[in-house]
Chain A
Amino acid sequence: MNQTTSSPLQRGFWEATGGRRGIGAWIFSTDHKRIGLLYFYSTLLFFCVGALLGLALRLELFSPGADFFTPQQYNALFTLHGVVMIFLFIIPGIPAAFGNLVMPIQIGAEDVAFPRLNLLSWWLYAIGAILALTSLFTAGGAPDTGWTFYVPFSVRTTTNVSLATVAVFIIGFSGILTGLNFLVTIHRMRAPGMTWWRIPLFTWSLYATAWVQVLATPVLGITVLLIFAERIVGSGLFDPTRGGDPIMYQHLFWIYSHPAVYIMILPGMGVITDIIPVFARKPVFGYKAIAISSLAIAGAGSVVWAHHMTTSGMSDTAVLVFSLLTFLVAIPSAVKVFNWVATLYKGSISLDPPLLFALSFIFLFSIGGLTGLVLGAAATDVHVHDTYFVVGHFHFVMFGGTGFAYIAAMHYWLPKIYGRMYNRKAAVWGWALMTFGFIVLYMSMMIVGMEGMPRRYYDYLPKFTFWNQLSTIGSWILACGLIVIFVNIFRGLFRGKPAGDNPWGGASLEWQTSSPPPLENFDYEPEVTHGPYDFKRGCP
């Protein structure tokens, strides 16, 4: 990360190493921007790891039968793919990386409320990640339970599930601390004049997310601890032969893991909400509606968990209640989508890379969300549950949604942090390849899922071959797109032209300070006199 020392542009917080040298200036720094970058590079690393595993899954599924991996290896692969993507990439991805990078600047603070706690969060994350990787190579072999760790299988299997649960516990704890830190920061550290209704919507989305992190993640903690206890001390709380109930495990798991999907998407939505008005040069449509819908999603999203359990054997009353609630969460999401589109109306739209990714986000997330409605309806969920339709759904929302938002955020904010700009044309090419490959890859999955192909299958009936092959081909196109994107952006950040303080003409506070920002973000105490999307007064 120190390649930049040769750069003539070297300025701002990059120079303030706090008296430490080399790697120590990073892994012991309490500066929110440095911690943000630590998170950024770690989540990016795990994204690449996870993506390569995903590529391997698709390779195996190119034709029926066990071609490249044994069934056991395949099971370990998708477990690892899921765990890495969920716990190491997508949950910390936007909030911990970009949240740390820009949220304090957006509200005019010099850092987060508890800088040392912030550093501890990253350390816990790193320790958890290392433990998770250790679990692959020790004792019984790589865990093979799927990222859901369903009992009784996860208690019976001889693979190294215990260590993996400890890793998940620690990573969860790291997320809790980040959320807690952000809540206090947003409540206590706003600059003078930064009233609640002047907070940029990205920060609003982080605020809602942080609540979910703080209140839902502990339930994950106890859930994985229970698996651990079940395996180590034999506390048969989920073991039917000892009076336990395996379905209760699923309740506990989803009490966290459903809200977790909103931990994943809300910050992504926030990124999109901040990008669209800037490139349309027009105030965001329905500011308050969007802010409130973030809170509504966080709140309502916490009570829909059992829609993952429609066929599990839980009571029909629960199916009724949770299906109804599931549909209610769709409404605030719909409000956001409509507001985004309305913001474009009568604007002055400049199709720069961040906006392109934002538009893809709207399209892909809408597909993902609308297929979520198919899953939410009880009758149809019975057919598609645990098939590739679900796999298609969640890749659309997680990758098409959050993943694209992450990449949009890279194109939007990294020039600010590095002070340099990437090549626009290459970014557009990468975007086109990615979006096209994405649709081929995951649309095929949805279709083959509707035809009845179950998930977590290393092998399938020949009648499913066509769509699987198409899907695999899509994964290669997507891979090309991603490589173009990454090569381009990093070449730009390290060797590109200076970006200037406000390359996009944004009106929120992060664009008012220099690029890269100085150590405590502003050379002066910022006074906020207008809203974050007030381009008339806000930009030069």
Chain B
Amino acid sequence: MSEHGDKGHIVPYATLVIVWAALLTLTILTVAVSRIDLGILNIWAALGIACSKSVLVISFFMHMKYENRLFKLFLMIALITLATFIGFTFFDVMYR
């Protein structure tokens, strides 16, 4: 990788603003959804929306979309680790 070659992709303002608008929309959506009683689904809907917002932030604001595979791999490792930490704790609390 040469000095300036990997200095990164320039993300245009327009893209950033569109992402921001999408984030705001999703925020409103999540508030709206929380007002409807879906039982257990409420929490999953909230998490689902929060995850999509994160994907947007990570991909565009944090430039992950333009980084090489290594960065994406690292991110997956970290997220999987967190998920197993949370998930495996439930082998205890769910069945106690």
Q: Which residues from chain A sit less than 8 Å from chain B, CB to CB?
A: 187, 211, 215, 219, 247-248, 251, 255, 302-303, 306, 309, 313-318, 321-322
Main DSSP-derived SS at the A contact region? helix
State A187–B74 Cα separation when bound (angstroms): 12
Residues on the B chain within 8 Å of A248, using CB: 89
Q: Are A219 and B85 in contact (CB under 8 A)?
A: yes
Decide yes or no: A318 and B95 within 8 Å by CB, A251-B89, A302-B84 being known contacts: yes
Q: Are A187 and B96 in contact (CB under 8 A)?
A: no
Category for how many chain B residues contact A: 10 to 19
Q: Are B92 and A315 in contact (CB under 8 A)?
A: yes
Residues on the A chain within 8 Å of B77, using CB: 211, 215
Task: Mark B65-96 against chain A: 1 for CB-CB distance below 8 A, else 0.
Answer: 00000100000011001001100110111111
Residues on the B chain within 8 Å of A247, using CB: 92
Q: When the two chains form the complex, which single residue of B70, B81, B84, B91 contacts A315, counting CB atoms closer than 8 Å? A: B91
Main DSSP-derived SS at the B contact region? helix
Q: Which residues from chain B sit less than 8 Å from chain A, CB to CB?
A: 70, 77-78, 81, 84-85, 88-89, 91-96
Q: When the two chains form the complex, which single residue of A251, A302, A314, A321 contacts B81, counting CB atoms closer than 8 Å? A: A302
Q: Are B78 and A251 in contact (CB under 8 A)?
A: no
A-B contact pairs, 14 of them (CB 8 A): A215-B77, A215-B78, A247-B92, A302-B81, A302-B84, A303-B88, A306-B92, A315-B91, A315-B92, A315-B93, A317-B94, A318-B91, A322-B88, A322-B91
Decide yes or no: A255 and B94 within 8 Å by CB, A187-B70, A215-B78 being known contacts: no
**In the complex, residue of chain B having the shortest beta-carbon distance to the beta carbon of A251:** B89
Residues on the B chain within 8 Å of A211, using CB: 77
Q: Are A317 and B81 in contact (CB under 8 A)?
A: no
**In the complex, residue of chain B having the shortest beta-carbon distance to the beta carbon of A219:** B85
State A248–B86 Cα separation when bound (angstroms): 12
Residues on the B chain within 8 Å of A219, using CB: 85
Q: B68: shortest Cβ distance to chain A, in Å?
A: 11
Decide yes or no: A251 and B92 within 8 Å by CB, A187-B70, A211-B77, A215-B78 being known contacts: yes
